[in-house]
Amino acid sequence: MDIKKIDARGQSCPIPVVLAKKAIDKNPKKLEIIVDNVAAKENVTRFAKTMGYNVNIEENDIDDIILKIEK
């Protein structure tokens, strides 16, 4: 199954969390969200955890932060 990927780069809060919520409402097993600012990283991570998901964070050298969200 394809992993749902959401590009939330350049979006400031609360938009990345709104996008995460819309995706998580469909109850996926896995989900990837790319953000590019620390506030978005913190907020999406906090939200995903309260929804019972684990979050792995990968950062690359061009400021992209990939949040791998998994049940």
Partner 1 sequence: MKKENSKIILTGAIIGIAAVILVALGNPKNMGFCIACFIRDITGSLKLHNVEKLQYARPEIFAILLGSFIIAKIKKEYKSTGGSSPIIRFVLGFFIMIGALVFLGCPLRMVLRLGGGDGKAIFALFGFIAGIYSGSKFLGQGFSLGRTYKIEKNNGYIFISIISFLTILSALGVIGNLDKTTHAPFIASFTFAIIVGIMAQRTRFCMVGGYRDIFLFKDFKLFYGSLSLLIVVLIGNIITNNFSFSITMTNAIWFFLSMGLVGFAAALAGGCPLRQLILAGEGNSDSIITIIGMIFGAAISHNFAIASSPTTVNTNGKIAVIIGLLIISAIALIITKQKKEELKKLGL
Residue choice 3, 18, 58, 71 for contact with partner 1 (CB under 8 A): 18
Q: Which long-range contacts (CB under 8 A, 24 or more apart) does 48-53 make?
A: 48/20, 48/24, 51/24, 53/24
Residue choice 3, 22, 29, 57 for contact with partner 1 (CB under 8 A): 22
- Helix, coil or strand: residue 27: coil
The reply to whether 61 belongs to the active site is no
What span, in angstroms and rounded, lies between the C-alpha atoms of 71 and 69?
7
Nearer to partner 1, 4 or 68 (CB): 4
Build a one-symbol-per-residue string for 37-56: x at contacts with partner 1 by CB under 8 A, - elsewhere. Answer: xxx--x---xx--x------
